[in-house]
Structure formats: structure tokens, C-alpha cells
Amino acid sequence: MNMNNSEGLTGQAGNETSDLSKARLRAWLQILKVSRKIEGELREKMRLEFGSTLPRFDVLAALYRERDGMRMSELSKSLMVSNGNVTGIVDRLVAEGLIVRVPVENDRRASIVRLTKEGEKDFAERALVHESWVSELFSDLSSSDADALIRILRTISHHNEAPHD
């Protein structure tokens, strides 16, 4: 049986919570706080400046990285949201003319979603402004702190990585 840092050496077990456990909880709450605050700011800017939303921006961003398009399932996996969720966002972006659904050869269950010319142009503009917003919201974050933050968050990410296929 596997023993991790939260018990074992200290002999702690059951419901008693260690200092380390509490520090991790504080870290999580702080992540949540920053994440909510920044998302709120970006949501408002996205709405006022572009009349759009963060989920739509996220879909456009994913498709901008994969210019040949992505399947719905790739999209939802990449964004870490449910399939059904992506269906709705994609419907709206199609209605706005920013993306299209293209049938897949030899598999009529699937479809590929990709940016239209207009979607590509719109996203390129929005992405620049978006980056400037983030940089401004993070303007107290030095280069070295940014690197440290990324490193630490990656160790957390990697821990609960989705199991292999």
C-alpha cells in the first residue's frame, strides 16, 4: 500500500490534518481566487470589446493552433470540457460565421470543425488584445516568478494526468 507525505513519517492518519495538508488547501484556495478574479476581468473585457465570451475565445484559440481543424472530441478533450458543452459553443460560433463544420471522409459519425477566413482574421486580432489584457492583469508578475509559477503548476498538472489510452 502506498504511503504519501500526508501520513507515514508523521504517523498521522485518518481525519487529523497536517500543516502540509493545510498549506496545500490554502494554495488551492488561492489558485481558485486568482482564477476567478482574472476570469471575471477577462470575461467583462471580452464582452465589452468584442461582444463575445471566454468559452468562444477558447474554442477559436484551439482551432487557431490546429489550422486543419479538429474533431468535436479532440476539441472537448483539449479544452477539458464535456462533449455536450462544445456542441453548444460550436453551434453559436457557426451561427456567427467564425467556424464551419466539415464532414469527415469515411466516417459519417464525425465532423471536423475549423476556422473560416473571417474567424481566423477575427481571432488573430482578439488574441493580441487578449494577451495584452493578461499581461496587464499580471503586471506584478516578474519573469522569474512567472517561470516559478509555471514550474510549480506543471508539477500539479502532471500528477493527475489523464490515464493513457
Q: Take residue 62 and report the three cell numbers written for it.
A: 484551439
Output the smallest distance, CB 1 to DNA, in A: 28
**CA-based nearest residue to 110, from 123, 99, 101:** 101
Positions 40 through 59 that interact with DNA (CB under 7 A): 40, 43-44, 47, 53-56
50 vs 94, beta carbon nearer its own copies: 50
90 binds, among DNA, its own copies, none (CB under 5 to 8 A by kind): DNA
Which one of residues 42, 72, 127, 134 is an interface residue with DNA (CB under 7 A)? 72
Could you tell which of DNA, its own copies, none binds residue 146, using a CB distance below 5 to 8 A set by kind? its own copies
The minimum distance between CB 63 and its own copies, in angstroms, equals: 16
The Cα–Cα gap between 39 and 134 comes to: 10
For residue 161, the 8-state DSSP code is P
Of 5 and 83, nearer to DNA (C-beta) is 83
Query: Would you tell me how many other CB atoms lie within 10 Å of the CB of residue 96?
Result: 15
* Residue 73, binding choice from DNA, its own copies, none, Cβ under 5 to 8 Å by partner class: DNA
The residues that bridge with 31 in the sheet, in sequence order, are none
63 binds DNA (CB under 7 A): no
Cα–Cα dist 56/89, whole Å:
6
Nearer to DNA, 72 or 137 (CB): 72
SS3 assignment, position 103 = strand
**Is the distance from CB of 74 to CB of 112 less than 8 angstroms?**
no
How many whole angstroms separate alpha carbon 19 and alpha carbon 41?
A: 33
User: Which parts of this chain interact with DNA (CB under 7 A)?
Assistant: 40, 43-44, 47, 53-56, 71-74, 80-90, 92, 101, 104, 106-112
